[in-house]
Each structure stands twice: as C-alpha cells, then as structure tokens.
C-alpha cells in the first residue's frame, strides 16, 4: 500500500500534459473496462452469477483487443516494446480471477481483478495516455489507504493529525474527479450527483477530524467507500 505522500505524487503526475483517449487502442481498453469494473463491483457484492458473466465479458473484450492490436499497435503505443506483454498479463490475471470466481472464491477473485487496474494504468503511463479512470484510481488508492489504516492511526499519539493529512490528500483527489471529468461526464446529471456524494463524504470526514470527534471520524471513515463505489461502477 502506498503512503499518502506517494498518492499525492501519483495525482500530481496526472497534471503533466498527456494524450487523452482519442486512439483506437485506448478507446477499446476503455470499452473493455466497463465489464471489468462491473466484475469488481459484483465480486465485492458476492454476486456469483453476475460476477461470472462480467469477468467472462471483460476477458473476451480484452482478449479480442490483444488479438487485434498486439502485433502492430497504432500510436501512441507503437513504440512500446512491452505493449503485447502487458495485454498478455491482463489476460492471465483475468483467467486466474475467472477460475477463482467459478470456484466460488469471490473475495480472492476480487483481489486478483485489482491487478488489472494497475497493469492498465502502467501501460497508459508508459505511453503518455491519461483517461478519467486514472483519476478514479488515484482516489481509490488513497481511499483504501485511509480506510485500511485510519482506525489504527487514531489509536496512536498524534493519530488525529496524521489522519487529517490523509484526508487532505483524499479531498484533493476527490476534487480532481470533478475538475478533470471530460465534458460529456461533467454535463451528465447522474455523474454530477454521484461525484458530489463522493465530495460530501470526504467533507464529512474532514469536519469530524476538525472537531476531533473520534466516534464521528470512525463513522465517516465507514461511509467513505460507498459513494465511490457507486461512481466507479457507472463512470469509473
């Protein structure tokens, strides 16, 4: 798990001018990302049949993408010697996850699926491509860090102050979800409502920290994931 500082560095890297999804490969990856994020959501919800269908759909789309482009990818991926290998790794991860899901090991399947997000993010980063999912992933990483470690931090001397720093990073990343949304998303009423819910959850946490209300902080941490999950499954 990266530290809050590392998450901030990752977020700042997204400020560098980059290529946005305007090429056939990136568009195909984003299309395949739709059933992939559904698989993440459904495995987390322990929905067996829906998880099996979503991971199968994601694997089929990513495999078709690899078959079409691995031999000779177009720009900006045409100078990436690791392009085909990255797509093979994605297929291998999806294969492993699919087997775990079919064995009714949904928690393991979910954890395995998480690897795809990192593989695709690194593939885009190497080739100077930024999509909205990268901002969602930066927020997700810091959110997981805070949720996993926040309660333990409170029990330590200076824990509330340390948590305030983590929440400030999360607040920055949450605001990026709004400011960096493509025009089509920014004008979507449902998107605006969902991203505002994410911002509200972070604001509630920071307000509880400012009051030094430990019970309220713990409650706010417990409410951080749900708004993000709703945004992710539809627009992430």
Whether the bond into 76 is cis, omega within 30 of 0: yes
The two structure tokens encoding residue 75: 């720009």
Kindly list the distances between the CA atom of residue 39 and the CA atoms of 36, 55, 144, 184, in Å, as whole numbers in the listed order: 5, 5, 18, 24
Rounded to two decimals, the pTM is 0.79
The burial of 72, by beta-carbon neighbours within 10 Å (0-12 exposed, 13-18 middle, 19 or more buried), is given as exposed
User: Is 12 or 63 the better-scoring residue by pLDDT?
Assistant: 63
The two structure tokens encoding residue 11: 């977020």
Fold of 132-235: 1.20.120
Architecture of domain 19-127 in CATH? Up-down Bundle (1.20)
pLDDT tens profile 187-212: 999 999 999 999 999 999 999 999 99
> Do the first three CATH levels of 19-127 and 132-235 match, i.e. the same topology?
yes
Bridge partners of residue 161, in order along the sequence: none
Boundaries of every domain in the chain: 19-127, 132-235
pLDDT tens profile 14-47: 343 333 446 899 999 999 999 999 999 999 899 9
Bridge partners of residue 130, in order along the sequence: 20
| Coil/strand/helix, residue 58 | helix
């Amino acid at each position: 798990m990266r530290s809050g500082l590392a998450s901030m560095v990752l977020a700042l890297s997204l400020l560098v001018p980059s290529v946005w999804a305007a090429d056939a490969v990136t568009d195909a990856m984003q299309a395949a990302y739709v059933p992939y994020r559904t698989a993440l959501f459904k495995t987390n919800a322990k929905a067996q049949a829906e998880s099996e269908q979503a991971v199968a759909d994601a694997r089929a789309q990513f495999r078709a993408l690899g078959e079409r482009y691995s031999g000779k990818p177009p720009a900006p991926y045409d100078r990436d010697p690791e392009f085909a290998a990255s797509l093979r790794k994605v297929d291998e991860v999806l294969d492993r996850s699919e087997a775990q899901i079919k064995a009714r090991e949904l928690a393991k399947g979910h954890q395995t699926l998480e690897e795809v997000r990192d593989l695709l993010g690194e593939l885009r980063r190497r080739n100077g491509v930024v999509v909205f999912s990268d901002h969602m992933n930066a927020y997700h990483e810091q959110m997981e860090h805070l949720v996993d470690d926040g309660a333990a931090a409170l029990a330590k001397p200076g824990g509330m102050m340390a948590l305030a720093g983590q929440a400030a990073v999360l607040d920055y990343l949450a605001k990026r979800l709004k400011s960096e949304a493509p025009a089509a998303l920014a004008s979507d009423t449902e998107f605006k409502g969902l991203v505002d819910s994410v911002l509200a959850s972070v604001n509630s946490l920071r307000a509880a920290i400012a009051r030094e209300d430990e019970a309220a902080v713990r409650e706010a941490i417990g409410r951080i994931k749900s708004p993000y999950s709703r945004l992710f499954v539809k627009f992430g």
